[in-house]
Amino acid sequence: MTTTEIVSASSNVDTHRVGHVPVMLAEMLEALAPRDGEIFLDGTFGGGGYAEAILRAAQCTLWAIDRDPAAVARGAKIAARHPGRLHVIEGSFGDMLSLLQSHGVTALDGVVLDLGVSSFQIDDPARGFSFRADGPLDMRMGRTGPTAADLVRTSSEGELADILYQLGEERLSRRIARAIVAARAAAPIDTTSRLADIIRGVVPRGKDGIDPATRSFQALRLRINDELGEIERALSAAASLLAPGGRLVVVSFHSLEDRIVKQFFANAAGRAPGPSRYDPRGLAAKAAIEFKLMTAKPARPGAAEIVRNPRARSARLRALQRLPRTEAAALSEVTP
């Protein structure tokens, strides 16, 4: 099955039924380049769109991870279509090393990470990720740990302001935090609509048409699920698992995610700025270069995909490859 046929099949899926349209599918497959007999990991299984495409592209084995029990349950249907080839594990992708090692997997030919919240989660009001429909203020990707309602109830005004500013890049974070603290003194904030209304009451709608609650909801979600910490742990683990020639493909959706990926890839490929000539660290022996960038700049979705799936508009795809041993050795010898 060609990449075009795989993408076409995915594009023709009834999205109202499955609730998920994989983003930049063709670009992901081109970078991951699945081949028969290889072993891959989809660290963010979600709706299974990437997993299905990878399994169709080659007679390979695919491991998948998701912290959401509902996503793991959905994986059973895809596994049934590819007997013995798909194995879905419940857990956090930042723990991929221990999760895979417990199943005897110590090396991979490729890893793909589709960061952020899945369409299934954001479209379900009961999960509390979106302010577009009323629901409990939950936001947990898994089913354990504190909820967003817990965070809003127990955090001080200063803590809330820091979360909204650092993780939501919200300029009016202090104003919002003050309004939340005042409102919770009158009645609990335990639904998405109540929190969104509080934020809209103190933040004017901008000319860009973005809902005033958007950045604050993003910040709370990132904090509840430790998403940025998970990304950092996952990138390090994925790089260590790649066999020579293995590929790591990451799709991110906002600047905080992409910044972490960009910096990690640059460091891995020896592209990070070196220390000043006056810095003693510059005298230390340089580490051997083991990776190369497959994407000098992030790939972006095409106009047609954005029209078909507006959620793709902010996507960025970056890819990194572990060098074959001989190429890594040669590159390290010529690098000053």
| DSSP-derived secondary structure for 79-129 | HHHSTTTEEEEES-GGGHHHHHHTTT---EEEEEEE-S--HHHHT-GGG--
Q: Which pLDDT score, from 0 to 100, does residue 208 have? A: 82
Count of Cβ atoms closer than 10 Å to residue 259 Cβ: 12
Q: Which helix (H) or strand (E) holds 61?
A: strand 61-66
Residue 127 lies in a domain: no
User: Domain check: are 94 and 235 in the same one?
Assistant: yes
CATH number for the domain harbouring residue 169: 1.10.150.170
Cα–Cα distance between 218 and 207 in angstroms, integer?
20
Mean local confidence (pLDDT), 27-47: 97
In this structure, are 330 and 292 located in the same domain? yes
Indicate whether 126 belongs to any domain.
no
**Mean pLDDT (the chain, rounded):** 90
Instruction: Please state, for a pLDDT cut of 90, what percent of the chain lies above it.
Output: 79
Q: Is residue 28 domain-shared with residue 170, that is, in the same domain?
A: no
Task: Decide: residue 2, CB within 10 A, 0-12 exposed, 13-18 middle, 19+ buried.
Answer: exposed
Question: Is the model's pTM score more than 0.85?
Answer: yes
Query: Residue 1's pLDDT is what?
Result: 60
Q: How many CB atoms lie within 10 A of CB 252?
A: 23
Q: Decide if 116 is inside a domain.
A: yes
Q: Are residues 8 and 104 in the same domain?
A: yes
Which pLDDT belongs to residue 308?
93
Domain stops at, among 225, 254, 286: 225
Mean pLDDT value across residues 161-170: 97
Q: What percent of the chain has pLDDT over 70?
A: 86
Q: Residue 125 domain-assigned?
A: no
Domain closes at, from 225, 240, 257: 225
* Together in a domain, 251 and 269: yes
pLDDT digits (tens, 9 = 90+) for 90-116: 999 999 999 999 999 999 999 999 998
Across 179-194, average pLDDT: 97
Are the CB atoms for 141 and 169 separated by under 8 Å?
no
Q: Are residues 25 and 109 in the same domain?
A: yes
In a domain, 267, yes or no: yes
C-beta of residue 118 within 8 angstroms of C-beta of residue 110: no
Number of H helices, E strands in the chain: 16, 7
Asked if 293 and 271 count as a contact pair (C-beta separation under 8 A), the reply is yes
- Residue 20: the pLDDT is 65
Specify whether 314 is located in the same domain as 232: yes
Q: Mark whether 238 and 274 lie in a shared domain.
A: yes
Residue 21's pLDDT is 81
Question: What pLDDT score was predicted for residue 324?
Answer: 87
Phi/psi zone of residue 327: left (φ > 0), alpha (ψ -120 to 50 degrees), beta? alpha
pLDDT score, position 330:
53
Q: What is the CATH number for 306? A: 3.40.50.150
Domain boundary among 169, 200, 225: 225
- What would the mean pLDDT of 16-42 be, rounded to a whole number? 87
pLDDT digit string, tens, across residues 135-147 = 999 999 988 899 9
Q: Sign of the CA dihedral 310, 92, 162, 187?
A: positive
Q: Which pLDDT band, with edges at 50, 70 and 90, does 218 fall under?
A: very high
Within this chain, do residues 195 and 319 fall inside the same structural domain, yes or no? no
Residues 238 and 259 in one domain: yes
Structural domain count, the chain: 2
Predicted confidence at residue 217, as pLDDT, reads 97
Let me know if residue 284 belongs to a domain.
yes
Residues 143 and 213 in one domain: yes
Tell me what pLDDT residue 17 has. Answer: 39
Residue with tokens 């076409």, as numbered in its chain: 8
Q: Are residues 152 and 25 in the same domain?
A: no
Compute the residue count for the chain: 336
Q: What range defines the domain where residue 115 resides?
A: 3-120+227-334
Distances 238 to 43, 183, 246 between C-alpha atoms, Å = 9, 43, 10
CA 1 to chain centre: 27
Order of all β-strands in the sheet with 39-42: 86-90, 61-66, 39-42, 108-114, 242-252, 316-322, 291-293
pLDDT at site 278 = 55
- The answer to which of 12-21, 112-121, 256-265 has the lowest mean pLDDT is 12-21
pLDDT of 244 higher than 90: yes
Judge whether residue 281 has pLDDT over 70. Answer: no
In a domain, 208, yes or no: yes
**What is residue 12's predicted lDDT score, i.e. its pLDDT?**
46
With respect to residue 262, please indicate whether it lies within any of the assigned structural domains: yes
Q: What is the DSSP-derived secondary structure letter of residue 208?
A: T
Residue 288's identity, in one-letter code, is: A
Mean pLDDT of 16-32: 81
